Each structure stands twice: as structure tokens, then as C-alpha cells.
Amino acid sequence: MEYVIEMNHITKIFGKFKALDDVTFKVKKGEVHALLGENGAGKSTLMSVLFGLYQAEKGEIIINGKAEQISNPNDANNLNIGMVHQHFKLVHNFTVLESIILGRETVKAGILRKDDARKKVMDLSNKYKLKIDPDAYISDITVGMQQRVEILKMLYCDNDILIFDEPTAVLTPQEIEELMKVMKELVKEGKSIIFISHKLNEIKEVADRCTVLRKGRHIGTVDVSTTSKEQMSEMMVGRKVSFNIEKIDAKVGEAVLEVRNLTIKARNSKKNMVNDVTFDVNRGEIVCIAGIDGNGQSELVYGITGLIPINEGKVFLNGRDVTRESIRRKCIYGMAHIPEDRHKHGLILDFDLQQNAVMQTYYEPRFQKFGLIKFNSVREYARKLIKQYDIRSPKDEDSVVRNMSGGNQQKLIIARELDRDPEIVLAVQPTRGLDVGATEYIHKQLMAQRNEGKAVLLISLELDEVMNVSDRILVIYEGEIVGELNPKEITVSELGLYMAGSKRGEGYGKKA
């Protein structure tokens, strides 16, 4: 039998919206099968149908040659199908170990046998080099470790068919390398993997075949080794995509953002998350803060934008001290923020698209009169953003944001932030989870801000993005800036040395 999974003629409709239209998708035993498509193409929906989270209106699912009815995730688990979701579904006040064994607890004479479970989990952890701390609480661990927990949970259940929905979007380059190795190991053991990613390099590295979806339709299935990245992205978006960013010379002006001796202490330890950081971002330049995840870059941005208090230091915006200003004031003075965690800090998921679009501006005269919201103006404005930024969703401005695809949620935030014509944009991982077309678009937008003489501070974990987009690179390591680099003069591997802390720029001595 050639296929472990055959999904034939699947159609899935939400209200009036056809998310999947007659899609056929087949996975061979022992292969890594990539699923590629633009944001909102239907990848997660197709996997949710396979995993029993959604019921298809039409079509059949055949697992190992037998037609099956998959009505819920338990049915899927019984067929040895496991899934790592795009947005993790872990319970925050559980420990790592509890999370992994949840739903599969071994009970002997009515007593939970945690010891057996712990041994099995640690054996798996060692075997696949998925490092975890079994007793840490989910709320305290990094997204990278959460990802490993999700994978171990899937392996703990002895699944044979593994679905990874965009696992690499939240991982650091080092963690991605590790995950690629794990996937190769798993297929060697005869497991079959479905791998969703927007990163064509990853698909090239690990996948055997690739199925492309566009707007809910099956465009084709290709052999990865004989298909170029350019061909795959053209199938995906229906046009040619350029991987190079056009860059005119920067015309650098005066400082827009000045950060002086910023220090932020950690909540539970004596360590400083951000230690005496000083830098400027000037008109007409994109400054990038590069670093391995967890080196203080998140806290630095939280401190500047006002999401967490800072202990020492000052922040100036166009010469004005905004260190202790409210977030609304900072917005008014021209600070825009594309946050790292779009669900926590970027959107209200149960509000609709238009409400989210005016989150910082609803009180302005164009949207409000005598304390009443001008609903028509809000609607019109949202429509303008949808059109201009190509935000795709099932019900346009009336879509509840929770039901929008991850990438389109991100586009909405970017539209809202850039359309306020800010003086400085703090963009944290702005292209995380975006397809190649949308990534190209965001990079162009950031470049346009810069060319108009605005300032951009970009925080990115992706070295390609750092090297291609920025005019100046500041490397952060353990809460300190350890070097300032010119992307034209350094190589990726050199940058890596700074990020790993094994090299420091001149004048960037270790401070006590």
C-alpha cells in the first residue's frame, strides 16, 4: 500500500466561505511531505480536518487503505495521528511532564504512575535530543521548549503520522537545525510527517514531496529535489517573487529614538535582563537588533514601548523624554509597535477586524463625535486597509480576528501600525509566519518608511532578514550590546560569532 493518508476531494465551508475546495492530498509512508501555501490558503484547515477538529462538507479520508470517519482528535489519536498546532495549546499551570502525559496517564490500581511516565518521557527526550526540564511550569519556559514539549507529547503517544503545523516559525536558527534532524530521524524509523512551513530552505532541506495550495485549491504536488524554490513560490502565489530587496543608499538624518543606559532587572533574579543599553535610531535608517532568542531583546522593546517598567535609563523620541509617558502618549508622539506576540500584545482576538484596526485611534475626530463612534468611518477605514495591505479573511471587516489565519492577523497589525504614519516603527519579528509574498511586501513597507526619512528598529532572529534589510546591526548578548556591525562588511558566520557571545566589538567591554 503506497499511501498512509489519502484525503480525497475535501471541501470545507465556513458560513459562505469555501476554505477548502475539492482538495486531494496524499502522503506516502516514510516521507516528509511539505504543505505550502500563502497565508490563508487553507493549510491549517486541511490538517484540522485530518485531525478531527473540523468536519469536511465533502470528501473522504482513507488511512492505511481504510476509509475512516475522524470526528474528533481522539479518533485521530486512535489512528496514531498526532499534531503539533500552529499556536500551541499547552496548559500554563501544568508542568512539562504533566503536559506531555495529559490524556495518556498510566494508572495502576487507580494510582497515577508518574514514575513510569517520567522514564518514558526522559528516554524520548534523550533519544531525539529534545532537551526539556520535566518539572518546569509551562508558563516559565521559552517557546522553543514549548515546541519540544509538543513534539514529545506527540511521540509519547506512539503516533505514526505526525503533523507539524509551522513548527519553525517560533524557533531560533539553532533550534530549527535540531528539529530538522529529529524529523529525518523519525522518517528513518518509518513514521510519516506532514510539515507546514513558509520557509523554502527548510522544505528543500527536509521534505521529499511538496503539495501546494492556493486560496483553498490544490495547485499541484511536486518532487522537492527536482523543483526549485522559485518554481515552488510561483506555484504558491501565482506570480514571480523576488528574494532580493531593492535598497537605495540610506540618507541618514538626526536621531528619532535615543535610548540611554537602559537597564531592566529580571523579576525573580538579580540578573539584569537589559544591562546599560545605549543606542540611537536615526531618520532614514533601519537598525536591526540581532541576537539569539532570550538575550534581552524582548525586554528591551517592552521597556521602550512601556509594556514593562524600566529600572534605569531614559528613552527620547524626537528629543522629548518619553521614559515615563503612557503608551497612548507614545503612540501620539509617533511610536509604532509590531509586537513579538501578536495574540498577547497585538490584537483582541474576539473583536472584529475593524475594531482592531482603530485600537489606538478610535478617539480621534475622524472616528468619533461627541463620544460616539462613527461606525461608518471605522468600516470605511478598515476597508481601505484591507485593500491596501491585501488582508484576506472570511468576512472582510466583520471577520472576528480569532478566525483569521495567522499570517493575515499579522498583516492587520502591520497595516494598523504603519498607516498611522509613525516616526519610528519597532518591528519585532514582523515576518514571523508570513508567506514569501507577504514577507516581500512587509520588507518593502519597512524600506519605504526608511526611504521617507522615518526610523525603523527591527528585531529579528532570522539572519537572512538581518543581513538583507538592515543598514546597521547591533548585536545583543546577555542583555548587552556587544557590537555594532555594517551588514555590507560582515559575513553571516561572523555575525553568528557575535550572537553567540564569542566575539565583541571594540569599545564594547564587559560591564560589571
Ligand X SMILES: Nc1ncnc2c1ncn2[C@@H]1O[C@H](COP(=O)(O)OP(=O)(O)OP(=O)(O)O)[C@@H](O)[C@H]1O
The binding site for Mg ion (CB under 5 A) comprises 44, 86
In the list ligand X, Mg ion, none, the entry touching 392 (Cβ below 5 to 8 angstroms by class) is ligand X
**Cell numbers representing residue 51 in the block:** 485531525
> Alpha helices of 129-172 — where are they, by DSSP H?
143-156
Residues between 41 and 60 with contacts to ligand X, criterion CB under 6 A: 41-45
In the list ligand X, Mg ion, none, the entry touching 19 (Cβ below 5 to 8 angstroms by class) is ligand X
- DSSP secondary structure code for residue 137 in this structure: B
Piece of the chain touching ligand X by CB under 6 A; list 66-74, 397-405, 413-421, 487-495: 397-405
Looking at the Cβ atoms of 40 and 483, the one nearer to ligand X is 40
Cα separation, 381 vs 280, in Å, equals 34
Q: Count CA within 13 A, CB hemisphere, residue 106.
A: 13
Q: Write out the E strands in 341-471.
A: 368-369, 372-373, 424-428, 455-460
Q: How far is the CB of 163 from ligand X (least distance, A)?
A: 12
What track of x and - describes contact with ligand X for positions 399 through 418 (by CB under 6 A)?
Answer: ----xxxxxx----------
Burial of 248 (0-12, 13-18, 19+ CB in 10 A): exposed
Q: Are strands 209-214 and 217-223 parallel, antiparallel or unpaired?
A: antiparallel
Piece of the chain touching ligand X by CB under 6 A; list 33-41, 246-254, 307-315, 422-430: 33-41
In the list Mg ion, ligand X, none, the entry touching 40 (Cβ below 5 to 8 angstroms by class) is ligand X
In the list ligand X, Mg ion, none, the entry touching 275 (Cβ below 5 to 8 angstroms by class) is none
Tell me the three state secondary structure of residue 20.
strand
Neighbours of 352 (CB within 10 A): 20
Which residue has 499570517 as its cell numbers?
407
Within its chain, how far is the Cα of 511 from the centroid? 33
- Asked if 134 touches ligand X (CB under 6 A), the answer is no
Neighbours of 353 (CB within 10 A): 28
Q: How far is the CB of 183 from Mg ion (least distance, A)?
A: 18
Q: How far is the CB of 408 from ligand X (least distance, A)?
A: 6
Q: How far is the CB of 427 from Mg ion (least distance, A)?
A: 21
Piece of the chain touching ligand X by CB under 6 A; list 62-70, 180-188, 279-287, 388-396: 388-396
Amino acid symbol at 469:
V
Q: Of these, 392, 432, 443, 472, which contacts ligand X (CB under 6 A)? A: 392
- Asked if 40 touches ligand X (CB under 6 A), the answer is yes
Looking at the Cβ atoms of 134 and 216, the one nearer to ligand X is 216
Angle between helical axes of 436-451 and 406-418 (0-180°, round to 10): 10
Looking at the Cβ atoms of 39 and 233, the one nearer to Mg ion is 39
Residue ranges binding ligand X (CB under 6 A): 14, 17, 19, 37, 39-45, 86, 392-394, 403-408
